[in-house]
């Protein structure tokens, strides 16, 4: 494309007073932005109209030197074909440099102008990726329980073709075993009928839903917008997105034989078995009964987590007993009653009907007897050991396990590290990984959805609850996390909406979250590829397959555009039209490094634009200030940081670098799951490079900054500046 | 200790507002907000817990059930909407009706207060303390009332109490102002008493 | 503006200065108070000891029925306990037709009937919502400039229903006092219970409640406490020497009714309309700034 470049300088928000605009323009001019316009308030309608007039007249590359790229986004966007580069003079120069000398502030501004200028001149507007052939728009739902049924209905009602696959001969899943539901609607006094018949009627009557019962998925190939699914019954289907709603399995009560005497009496049953009895009408003759909550749940020796449904179910089942015999003594022995939202009403109704709740400590109650049972427990609210005698039955409220194969990933190992040791780690992880599959994905990284803990599919669950680490594949209901029936029902609707969204994104050739709408995607200069497999192994989303010669085979509709592959590639062959190793490297090189005797060190902060950058902006907005020797470069993810940038920076005299990004580990906050983890691993290997250059490892720091950590930003920078002071100037200055 | 629900059922059925405690979730906000919790062995939460466990004697003989200042704080703050104060009054009343006196002095004062209402339709602030004191017998009663002399004198000096307080009570009580409809009022109260007595039996 | 003023037993005795000042304030603001003829005691909270729930309901239903028969005006109760008892029973009766029928059977013994038409109001409700702060301000002739006052609400003035003001953070009395020109201080114990219900019989325990309230007001800078409840006024005021003896405190805080301060600000005589001579703890320096 032929670029017509123009720069725009805003004088508002204190910029005009604090900086010499002539100097700024001159600096940008060095990087090819020769023409400039100024405005007192660039984001005002008049300012925007001034830019728009130029765009209408053919200007298509804009350097907007005003506020942060996170501010005024609507005002300063002019369509996909107009490149816009924002220079954050307000947040990153004027607001955060209260204590700086005027000339240092000016140098800071001029550096940012150069960095913005070079990025603008090196970027190209992205052209969206287009799948070959027709985009598949059907939604595949795997699992015909409450969540899957609702997902199917929601997608069908939104106009999508739905394929519903159920491994049993009949639809319904666990719902088929349920007698009644607890009260669901105000005033929450009455048990309600099982909704399954109504749901089945809706599904069978819907023209958009095609059901396959007694079938499982043999193979899933392709990518969002183009999945091909082979079923065990020989059918082959095309779908644009997939919802896995495979539900749960009850915790194995045999494992509670020791703790809760399961198996010692036919009158000690699980909640699932009790429901069956209720459904068969077998609750007559119960005069006294106890329900034991957290039977194996929230227990490190069994299920360490809360299963979220057992308290509600025990309240409901206690009501079965009270309805059959209002005089019955019904006890619920609990650690904590966890009945959030409307479930609380069910808890209250059970109490109203006379159910007695006894709070116990961590120890399990002792159960003895065979026909009539005795139970002894610590009542922590009375602070006494109490006993219940002549119990007709004891119900163990057991928890749920997700119907999903556990995947254990080997710890990340830096490129170049001991490959034998790495192999061993991979073997160990493999041994813990379960070897069955629901979807049988034909993906380079394996047939299953990556899991984090307890075999529940991994996702950035706060921001993107239905997401898995396989784009276009969503989990819904109890396979995702333990939940109660109404939540699983709502989950189905949410997952259906996400599935449809993924198909639309594949059609448009843009990213799904978190870079929703981004039309750029990674392109591979294959002639220089060395088949090292870093990209295919490290992509957090399994987006890249491999051919038999280990060449990467990218699937852009699976891609989230984080750039982890770009950061991984030792040959630097992966780039986006507007984000590449060369572009960021050029930005670093555009920083003017003063001579050593000027005593003006230079530090580059590579900042994650999802979390660290907003925190930096917020800190500046709140009036925090820090050293004017620091230059921020926003990166899509710390995982996209290529080691060559570090080497480039240090060899051009930059004194130090901070990588600022999200929390890593099991409680990660990285929007791209593994990005900050990868950056950290890669940096752990940088010391070798530094040694080669005879530089101190203190010059590199990885700092965790969450989006709410604005109060930490200045401290991290100032502390690092002290470190740089103590290690002294980079000896490569002036080379 | 064995759990037994007989007493819980007795409370639900016979104590005024007693069945409201069923929905207590044992959070303890009631005790935490009670101005006199520091003076009690058991706060409301624990009393309800004892009721559920069937500890009849421990509950009805507990002086804490009659230490309520009637300030409604627990009731306002109870997240489950239990009318805690009303239940506590109900329990104390029930205990008294069973011949148990959880707190003797407050019981005497309450009795004097109620008799004042029943006899005349209104309460004379000067008469109630005297009647309260005299329940201990004439000599002890006079001693007790002399102990309150400073308060009475101060009020009298401020013209907020008529001097009749200091005349021996049997002389002035017949002369106390009665409302005109006192006879009808007494009939009403008798009829109301019969209804509740049937419930408590 | 016609209302029934339900005096209650306190205003006939220890709270006589409440009655005097309330009547003076009413006159100044154009409020006509009527007495409910032959009213009886509300029973107060302590009634539960001698009487049962139904008897307590009947006591109050009788007054409501009398009011309905005598003109049906809103009943204004200056005493918080009377207000709560009348209000509570009224709400119960209005909400439960079965109870109403049962109670009417009993009321019939005295030839009375209640149909549920009466509203029960606290005097702060009347002053704040019906009269309004602006009208009160306009009636001020001698602003209480320089008077540092703590607005104490206690318990039953707003609890448990919070109908006209918040249970936890009320403001009506503060606003009225501010309208008089007084400086209303911040203090933490404004809705804490003073223990008056059982003060006489449990003084050793309740003394600390009084101590804490008064000390909290003093710590806020108050020289005088204002209240709208006769039990609070009496309890906080007349036992201060006793409380000092029990707790080792050193209390000497005048406690007045909000209506006394109003009467004073409206230009009433300090010992007449404002009835300051009825105090056991003299107002002393607290009101010197306004010549009282």
Are C152 and C265 contained in the same domain?
yes
For residue A696, count CB atoms less than 10 angstroms from its CB and return exposed for 0-12, middle for 13-18, buried for 19 or more: middle
Placement of tokens 């100044």 in the chain = C28
How many beta carbons lie within 10 A of that of residue A423, not counting itself? 12
Q: Which residues of C touch B97 (CB under 8 A)?
A: 52
Choose the weakest-confidence range: A307-321, B1-15, B17-31.
B1-15
The phi and psi torsions of A332 (rounded to 5 degrees) equal -120, 120
Cα(B128)–Cα(B124) distance, rounded to whole angstroms? Answer: 6
Q: What is the dihedral of CA B44, B49, B52, B53, to 10 degrees?
A: -140
Confidence (pTM):
0.88
C–A contact: 3+ Cβ pairs < 8 A? no
Say if residue C147 is in the same domain as residue C286.
yes
Say whether both B125 and B59 belong to one domain. no
pLDDT of A25 over the 50 cut: yes
Q: Assess whether pLDDT exceeds 80 at residue B167.
A: no
Residues of B with CB below 8 A from C206's CB?
36, 69
Give the number of other Cβ atoms within 10 Å of residue C162's Cβ: 13
Identify whether A335 is part of a domain: yes
Boundary-marking domain end, from B97, B125, B141: B97
B45 touches chain A (CB under 8 A): yes
Q: Are C56 and B193 in contact (CB under 8 A)?
A: no
Residue A162, Cβ density class (10 Å: 0-12 exposed, 13-18 middle, ≥19 buried): buried
Distance of alpha carbon A688 from alpha carbon A692, whole angstroms? 6
Instruction: Enumerate residue ranges in chain C where pLDDT < 70.
Output: none
C115 with C253, same domain: the answer is no
Angle at A560 (CA atoms; ends A558, A561), nearest 5 degrees: 120
Separation between Cα atoms, residue A63 and residue A122, nearest integer Å: 12
> What's the domain range around A543?
523-566
Q: Which residues in chain B are contacts of A322 at CB distance < 8 A?
A: none
- CA distance to A108, A470, A641, A684, per residue, from A544 (Å): 40, 11, 19, 25
Interface test with C, best of B16, B189, B201 (most C CBs within 10 A): B189
Residue A514 domain-assigned (yes or no): no
The yes-or-no verdict on residue A650 having pLDDT over 80 is yes
Query: Do residues B62 and B92 share a domain?
Result: yes
Mean pLDDT within A521-541: 95
Residue A415: is its pLDDT beyond 80?
Answer: no
Whether residue A121 sits in one domain with residue A38: yes
Residue C227, domain member (yes or no):
yes
Cα of C203 to nearest chain B Cα, Å: 11
Same domain, A721 and A637: yes
Which residues in chain C are closer than 8 Å to B130, comparing Cβ atoms? none
**For position A282, what pLDDT does the model report?**
84
Q: Check residue C276 and give its pLDDT.
A: 96
d(CA A661, CA A638): 6
Question: Which one of A381, A383, A385, A388 makes the best mutation probe of the B interface by having the most chain B beta carbons within 10 Å?
Answer: A381
Q: A201 with A340, same domain?
A: no
Nearest to C210 by CA among C246, C184, C179: C246
A544 and A641 fall within a common domain: no
A361 assigned to some structural domain? yes
Quick one: B125 and B176 in the same domain?
yes
The answer to whether residue B132 scores a pLDDT higher than 90 is no
Question: Measuring CA to CA, how many Å separate A442 from each of A243, A438, C187?
Answer: 17, 12, 70
Residues A427 and A396 in one domain: no
Q: Are residues A357 and A286 in the same domain?
A: yes
Instruction: Indicate the residue among C97, C123, C149 that finishes a domain.
Output: C123
> B13 at the C interface (CB within 8 A)?
no
By C-alpha distance, the chain B residue nearest C14 is B160
Rounded mean pLDDT of A649-656? 93
Q: What is the distance between the alpha carbons of residues A224 and A508, in angstroms, rounded to a whole number?
A: 12
Task: Name every chain B residue with its beta carbon within 8 A of the beta carbon of A354.
Answer: 5, 12, 22
Q: Are A145 and A178 in contact (CB under 8 A)?
A: no
**In terms of CA atoms, which chain C residue is nearest residue B193?**
C55
Question: C230: domain CATH number?
Answer: 3.40.50.11810
Euclidean distance between CA atoms C226 and C239, whole angstroms: 16
Does B23 contact A352 at a Cβ distance shorter than 8 Å? yes
When mean pLDDT is compared across A13-27, A451-465, A551-565, the lowest value belongs to A451-465
- Provide DSSP, A605-650: EEEETTTHHHHHHHHHHTT----TTEEEEEES-GGG--HHHHHHHH
Contact B80/A348, CB-based, under 8 Å? Answer: yes
Does a structural domain hold residue A574? no
Residues C236 and C274 in one domain: yes
Q: Kindly report the nearest CA distance between residue A398 and chain B, in angstroms.
A: 22
Residues facing residue A212 across a β-bridge: A165
**Number of domains, chain B:** 2
Instruction: State whether B71 and B108 are in the same domain.
Output: no
Please tell me the distance in Å from B165's CA to the nearest CA on chain C. 12
Q: What is the mean pLDDT of residues A105-120?
A: 97
Q: Is the dihedral of CA A275, A277, A278, A283 positive or negative?
A: negative
Q: Which of A70, A114, A76, A119 is nearest to A90 (CA)?
A: A70
Q: In this structure, are residues A221 and A124 in contact, taking their beta carbons and an 8 Å threshold?
A: no
CATH number, residue C35: 1.20.1050.140
Residue C42 domain-assigned (yes or no): yes
> Would you place residue A356 in the very low, low, confident or very high pLDDT band (cuts 50, 70, 90)?
very high
Q: What are phi and psi of B45, to 5 degrees?
A: -55, -45
- Tens digit of pLDDT for each residue in B67-103? 999 999 999 999 999 999 999 999 999 999 999 999 9
Q: Is any Cβ of chain C less than 8 angstroms from the Cβ of B184?
A: yes
Assess whether B169 and B85 both reside in one domain: no
Would you call B22 an interface residue with chain A, using a CB distance cutoff of 8 Å? yes
Instruction: Name the pLDDT band for A460 (thresholds 50, 70, 90).
Output: confident
Contacts of C95 (CB under 8 A, 6+ apart): none
The reply to whether B196 and B108 lie within a common domain is yes
The CATH number of the domain holding residue B51 is 1.10.1060.10
Interface test mutation site (partner B, options C10, C41, C82, max chain B beta carbons within 10 A) = C41
Structure tokens at A568: 């991984």
Neighbouring subunits of B (3+ Cβ pairs under 8 A): A, C
B15 at C interface, C-beta within 8 A: no
Rounded Cα gap, residues A166 and A211, in angstroms: 8
Q: Is A342 contained in some domain?
A: yes
Residues A600 and A682 in one domain: yes
Contact B5 A329 (CB under 8 A): yes
Q: Report yes or no on B125 lying in a domain.
A: yes
Task: Confirm whether C128 is domain-assigned.
Answer: no
* pLDDT greater at residue A8 or residue B139: A8
Burial B83-116 (b: 16+ CB within 10 A, else e): bbbbbbbbbbbbbbeeebbbbebbbbbbbbbbbb
B15 domain-assigned: yes
> Is C279's CB within 8 Å of B158's CB?
yes
Interface test with B, best of A333, A334, A354, A390 (most B CBs within 10 A): A354
User: Is A471 found in the same domain as A416?
Assistant: yes
Which of B97, B119, B147 lies at the terminal end of a domain, its last residue? B97
Q: Is the pLDDT of residue B175 over 60?
A: no
A65 closest CA partner among A42, A86, A34: A86
Q: Which chains touch C (3 or more CB pairs under 8 A)?
A: B
> What is the pLDDT, as a whole number, of residue A1?
64
Q: In whole angstroms, give the CA distance from residue A415 to residue A44.
A: 49
B191 to C279: CB separation less than 8 angstroms, yes or no: no
Q: Which of B1, B8, B23 comes nearest A384 by C-beta?
A: B1
Residue of chain A minimizing CA distance to B23: A351
Name A213's bridge partners.
A166
Indicate if A259 and A192 belong to the same structural domain.
no
The residue whose two tokens read 């207590």 is: B24
Instruction: Report how far apart, in Å, the C-alpha atoms of A361 and of each of A289, A382, B119 are.
Output: 20, 12, 55
B1: in domain:
no
pLDDT tens track for A210-264: 999 999 999 999 999 999 999 999 999 999 999 999 999 999 999 999 999 999 9
- Indicate whether C21 and C141 sit together in one domain: no
Spatial neighbors of B102 by CB under 8 A, at least 6 apart, are: B60, B61, B62, B63, B64, B65, B66, B92, B95, B96
pLDDT of B165 over the 50 cut: no
pLDDT averaged over chain B? 87
Task: Please name the residues between 50 and 89 in chain B that touch chain A, using a CB distance below 8 Å.
Answer: 50, 52-53, 80
Q: How far C238 CA sits from the closest chain B CA (Å)?
A: 7
Record: contact B193-C51, CB cut-off 8 A? yes
B108/C201 CB distance under 8 A: yes
Q: Which residues pair with A229 in a beta bridge?
A: A220, A237
What mean pLDDT do residues A394-408 have?
A: 97
> Cβ A388–B8 below 8 Å, yes or no?
no
User: B24 and A384: CB-CB below 8 Å?
Assistant: no
Q: How far is C288 from chain B (nearest CA, A)?
A: 20
**Domain final residue, candidates C71, C104, C123:** C123
Residues in chain C closer than 8 A to B176 (CB atoms): none
Q: Kindly report the backbone phi and psi dihedral angles of residue A520, in degrees, each rounded to the nearest multiple of 5, phi listed first.
A: -75, 155
Give the N- to C-terminal CA distance of chain B in Å, as an integer. Answer: 28
Q: Which two tokens stand for residue A321?
A: 């007993």
**Residues C153, C155, C156, C162, Cα dihedral to 10°:** 80
Average pLDDT, chain A: 94
Which among B69, B110, B197 has the least Cβ separation from residue C50? Answer: B110
Flag whether C82 is in a domain: yes
Q: Which domain holds residue B179?
A: 104-200
Interchain CB distance below 8 Å, B26 and A359: yes
Interface of B with C in 72-91 (CB under 8 A): 72-73, 75-76, 85, 89-90
- Answer yes or no: is C21 within a domain: yes
Same domain, A85 and A169: no
Q: Binning pLDDT at 50, 70 and 90, where does residue B163 land?
A: low
Tell me which of C68, C99, C123 is where a domain ends.
C123
A386 neighbourhood in chain B, CB within 8 Å: 1-3, 53
Kindly determine whether residue B45 and residue A388, on different chains, have CB atoms separated by under 8 Å: no
**Contact (CB<8Å) C159/B117:** no
8 A C-beta contact, residue A208 and residue A156: yes
pLDDT above 50 (res A159): yes
Under the banding of pLDDT at 50, 70 and 90, the label for residue B176 is low
Same domain as C269, residue C149:
yes
- Whether residue B163 lies within 8 A of chain C, CB to CB, comes out as no
* B178 has a chain C CB within 8 A of its CB: no
| pLDDT over 70 percentage in chain A | 99
Q: For residue C96, give its domain range.
A: 2-123
B2 to chain C, closest Cα gap in Å: 32
- Residue A623, phi-psi category: left (phi > 0), alpha (psi -120 to 50), beta (remainder): left
User: At A215, which CATH number?
Assistant: 3.50.50.60
Q: pLDDT band at B171, cuts 50/70/90? A: very low
- Note whether C154 and C13 are same-domain residues: no
Place of tokens 């300051």: C276
The closest of A74, A72, A75, A77 to A91, measured between CA atoms, is A72
Contact call for residues A624 and A710 (beta carbons, < 8 A): yes
Do both C79 and C204 map to the same domain?
Answer: no
Domain count, chain C: 2
Is A321 found in the same domain as A367?
yes
CATH number for position A87: 3.40.50
* C-alpha distance across the termini of chain C, in Å: 30
* Domain-ending residue, one of B97, B112, B147: B97
CA-nearest residue to B74 within chain C is C160
Judge contact between B84 and B75, C-beta under 8 A: yes
Q: Say whether B122 and C40 touch across the interface (CB within 8 A).
A: yes
Which of C40, C43, C159 is the closest to B76 by Cβ?
Answer: C159
Question: What is the domain count for chain A?
Answer: 5
B71 and B12 housed in the same domain: yes
Interhelix angle C230-238/C240-247, rounded to 10 degrees, is: 50
Answer yes or no: do A10 and A50 share one domain. Answer: yes
């Amino acid at each position: 494309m032929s670029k017509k470049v123009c720069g725009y300088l805003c004088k508002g928000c204190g910029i005009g007073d604090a900086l010499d605009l002539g100097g700024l323009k001159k600096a940008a001019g060095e990087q090819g932005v020769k023409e400039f316009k100024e405005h007192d308030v660039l984001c005002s309608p008049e300012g925007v109209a001034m830019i728009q007039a130029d765009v209408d007249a053919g200007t298509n590359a804009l350097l907007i030197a005003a506020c942060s790229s996170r501010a005024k986004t609507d005002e300063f966007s002019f369509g996909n074909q107009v490149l816009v580069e924002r220079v954050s003079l307000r947040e990153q120069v004027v607001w955060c440099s209260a204590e700086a000398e005027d000339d240092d502030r000016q140098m800071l501004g001029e550096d940012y102008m150069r960095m913005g200028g070079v990025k603008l001149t090196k970027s190209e507007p992205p052209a969206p990726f287009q799948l070959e052939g027709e985009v598949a728009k059907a939604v595949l739902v795997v699992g015909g329980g409450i969540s899957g049924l609702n997902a199917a209905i929601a997608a069908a009602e939104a106009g999508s073709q739905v394929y519903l696959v159920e491994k049993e001969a009949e639809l319904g899943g666990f719902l088929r075993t349920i007698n009644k539901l607890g009260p669901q609607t105000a005033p929450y006094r009455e048990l309600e009928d099982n909704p399954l018949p109504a749901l089945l009627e809706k599904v069978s009557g819907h023209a958009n839903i095609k059901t396959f019962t007694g079938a499982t998925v043999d193979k899933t190939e392709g990518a969002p917008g183009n999945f091909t699914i082979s079923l065990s019954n020989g059918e082959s289907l095309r779908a644009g997105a997939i919802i896995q709603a495979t539900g749960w399995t009850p915790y194995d009560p045999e494992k509670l034989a020791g703790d809760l005497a399961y198996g010692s009496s036919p009158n000690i049953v699980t909640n699932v078995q009790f429901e069956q009895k209720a459904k068969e009408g077998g609750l007559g003759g119960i005069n006294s009964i106890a329900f034991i909550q957290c039977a194996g749940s929230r227990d490190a020796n069994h299920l360490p987590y809360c299963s979220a449904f057992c308290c509600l179910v025990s309240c409901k089942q206690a009501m079965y007993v009270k309805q059959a015999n209002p005089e019955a003594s019904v006890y619920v022995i609990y650690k904590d009653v966890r009945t959030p939202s409307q479930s609380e009403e069910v808890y209250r109704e059970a109490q109203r009907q006379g159910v007695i709740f006894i709070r116990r400590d961590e120890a399990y109650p002792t159960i003895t007897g065979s026909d009539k049972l005795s139970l002894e427990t610590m009542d922590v609210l009375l602070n006494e050991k109490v006993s219940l005698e002549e119990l007709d039955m004891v119900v163990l409220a057991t928890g749920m396990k997700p119907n999903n194969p556990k995947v254990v990933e080997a710890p990340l190992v830096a490129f170049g590290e001991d490959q034998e040791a790495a192999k061993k780690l991979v073997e160990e992880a493999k041994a813990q990984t379960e070897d069955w599959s629901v979807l049988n994905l034909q993906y380079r990284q394996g047939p299953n959805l990556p899991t984090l803990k307890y075999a529940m599919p991994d996702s950035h669950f706060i921001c993107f609850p239905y997401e898995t680490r396989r784009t276009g594949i969503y989990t819904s209901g109890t396979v995702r996390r333990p939940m109660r029936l109404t939540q699983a029902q709502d989950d189905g609707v949410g997952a259906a909406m996400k599935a449809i969204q993924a198909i639309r994104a594949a059609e448009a050739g843009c990213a799904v979250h978190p870079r929703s709408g981004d039309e750029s995607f990674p392109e591979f200069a294959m002639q220089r590829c060395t088949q090292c497999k870093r990209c295919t192994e490290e992509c957090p989303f399994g987006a890249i397959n491999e051919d038999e010669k280990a060449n990467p085979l990218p699937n852009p509709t699976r891609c989230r555009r984080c750039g982890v592959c770009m950061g991984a590639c030792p040959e630097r062959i992966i780039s986006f039209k507007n984000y590449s190793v060369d572009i960021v490297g050029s930005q670093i090189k555009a920083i003017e490094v003063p001579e050593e005797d000027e005593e003006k060190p230079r530090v580059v902060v590579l900042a994650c634009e999802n979390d660290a950058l907003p925190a930096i902006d917020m800190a500046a907005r709140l009036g925090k200030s820090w050293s004017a020797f620091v230059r921020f470069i926003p990166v899509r993810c710390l995982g996209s940081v290529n080691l060559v940038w570090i080497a480039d920076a240090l060899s051009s005299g930059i004194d130090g670098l901070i990588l600022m990004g999200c929390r890593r580990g099991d409680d990660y906050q990285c929007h791209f799951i593994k990005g900050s983890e990868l950056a950290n691993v890669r940096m752990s290997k940088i010391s070798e490079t530094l040694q080669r250059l005879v530089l101190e490892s203190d010059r590199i720091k990885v700092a965790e900054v969450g989006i709410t950590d604005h109060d930490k930003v200045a401290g991290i920078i100032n502390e690092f500046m002290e470190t740089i002071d103590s290690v002294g100037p980079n000896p490569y200055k002036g080379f | 200790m064995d759990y037994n629900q007989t007493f819980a059922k007795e409370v639900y059925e016979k104590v005024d507002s007693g069945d409201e405690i069923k929905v207590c979730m044992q959070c303890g906000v009631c005790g935490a907000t009670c101005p006199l919790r520091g003076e009690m062995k058991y706060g409301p939460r624990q009393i309800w817990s004892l009721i559920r466990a069937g500890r009849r004697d421990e509950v009805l003989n507990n002086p804490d059930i009659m230490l309520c200042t009637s300030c409604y704080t627990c009731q306002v703050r109870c997240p489950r909407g239990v009318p805690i104060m009303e239940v506590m009054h109900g329990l104390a009343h029930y205990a008294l009706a069973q011949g148990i006196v959880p707190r003797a002095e407050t019981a005497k004062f309450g009795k004097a207060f109620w008799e004042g209402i029943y006899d005349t339709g209104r309460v004379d602030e000067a008469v109630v303390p005297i009647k309260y004191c005299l329940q201990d017998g004439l000599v002890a009663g006079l001693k007790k009332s002399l102990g309150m002399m400073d308060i009475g004198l101060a009020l009298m000096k401020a013209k907020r109490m008529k001097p009749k307080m200091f005349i021996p009570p049997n002389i002035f009580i017949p002369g106390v102002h009665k409302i005109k409809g006192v006879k009808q009022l007494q009939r009403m109260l008798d009829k109301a008493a019969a209804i509740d007595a049937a419930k408590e039996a | 503006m016609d209302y029934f003023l339900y005096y209650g037993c306190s205003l006939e005795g220890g709270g006589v200065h409440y009655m005097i000042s309330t009547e003076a304030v009413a006159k100044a603001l154009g409020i006509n108070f009527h007495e409910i003829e032959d009213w009886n005691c509300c029973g107060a909270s302590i009634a539960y000891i001698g009487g049962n729930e139904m008897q307590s309901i009947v006591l109050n239903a009788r007054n409501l029925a009398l009011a309905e028969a005598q003109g049906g005006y809103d009943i204004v109760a200056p005493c918080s306990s009377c207000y709560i008892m009348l209000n509570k029973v009224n709400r119960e009766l209005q909400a439960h037709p079965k109870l109403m029928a049962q109670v009417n059977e009993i009321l019939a013994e005295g030839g009375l009937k209640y149909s549920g038409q009466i509203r029960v109001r606290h005097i702060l409700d009347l002053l704040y919502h019906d009269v309004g702060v602006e009208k009160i301000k306009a009636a001020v002739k001698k602003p209480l400039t320089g008077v540092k006052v703590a607005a104490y609400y206690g318990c039953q003035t707003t609890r448990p229903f919070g109908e006209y003001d918040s249970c936890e953070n009320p403001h009506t009395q503060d606003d009225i006092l501010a309208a008089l020109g007084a400086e209303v201080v911040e203090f933490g114990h404004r809705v804490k219970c003073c223990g008056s219900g059982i003060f006489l019989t449990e003084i050793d325990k309740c003394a600390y409640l009084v101590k804490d309230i008064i000390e909290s007001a003093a710590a806020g800078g108050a020289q005088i406490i204002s209240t709208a409840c006769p039990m609070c006024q009496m309890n906080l005021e007349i036992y201060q020497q006793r409380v000092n003896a029990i707790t080792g405190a050193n209390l000497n805080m005048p406690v007045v009714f909000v209506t006394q301060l109003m009467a004073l600000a409206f230009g009433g005589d300090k010992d007449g309309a404002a009835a300051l001579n009825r105090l056991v703890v003299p107002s002393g320096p607290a009101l010197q700034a306004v010549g009282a």
